[in-house]
Structure formats: structure tokens, C-alpha cells
Amino acid sequence: MVLRARVLLLSANRRVVRGTEGLWIYRLLTQVEPEAYGSKLAYVLVEASDSPLVRELPEQRLALLDEAVAVASALGASNPYRAKVLARALAAKRRELKGRPAT
């Protein structure tokens, strides 16, 4: 599975693979190499939370953003992308929570 994910990543010829394919690839590779792929996973998760597929599904959007925050938070302090992806995930989560009706 890891080899297949790496082949798909290399054959994509893009800096970041997006959509469901990117989620699958980065979720798998982050398990193997969290510092190398975690920032891209967090980025793609935030992007997926804005997808038309989950536009009317606030619980799923929030779950994607919670995962993005968790992944970004787990990156090491020396990771050069940690602060940027964590800030992006937290900002998106704040926006999502702000737009929800109070319960």
C-alpha cells in the first residue's frame, strides 16, 4: 500500500495531490513518515473541509478540521511547515465553529 501511494504521488507530478486521492495518499504516508507528509495531510484536510462534497455536512467538515489540527500539532517543533499548517487549520476550525448555531 505504501509503495502504491508513493508511486501515485510521484506520478501525479504536482507539489500537493488534492482531493480524495490526496487524502488517501497522505493519510497512509503520514503513518509511515509523519514529519515528511504530515504538513501536506493537514493542508489537504483543510482544503477538503471546503469541498462541495461536505458543504452541507457540518459534522464532517469539523471532523476533517479536527484531524488537520491534530496532524499539524503532532509535527515536531523543528518542522519548517508546522506553524503555517497549524495556523491555517486552527483558523479554518475557528471559522467553522463561528458559523455554527449555538447549541
Q: What is the mean pLDDT of the chain?
A: 92
Of residues 73, 98, 71, 97, the one with CA closest to residue 83: 73
| pLDDT of 73 | 98
Highest mean pLDDT, choosing among 2-6, 57-61, 96-100: 57-61
Model confidence over 17-67: pLDDT tens digits? Answer: 888 999 999 999 999 999 999 999 999 999 999 999 998 899 999 999 999
Average pLDDT over residues 68-75: 98
- Return the pLDDT at 16: 85
Sign of the Cα torsion 71, 73, 79, 84 reads positive
CA distance between the termini of the chain: 42
CA distance 51 to 78: 31
Give domain limits for the chain.
2-98
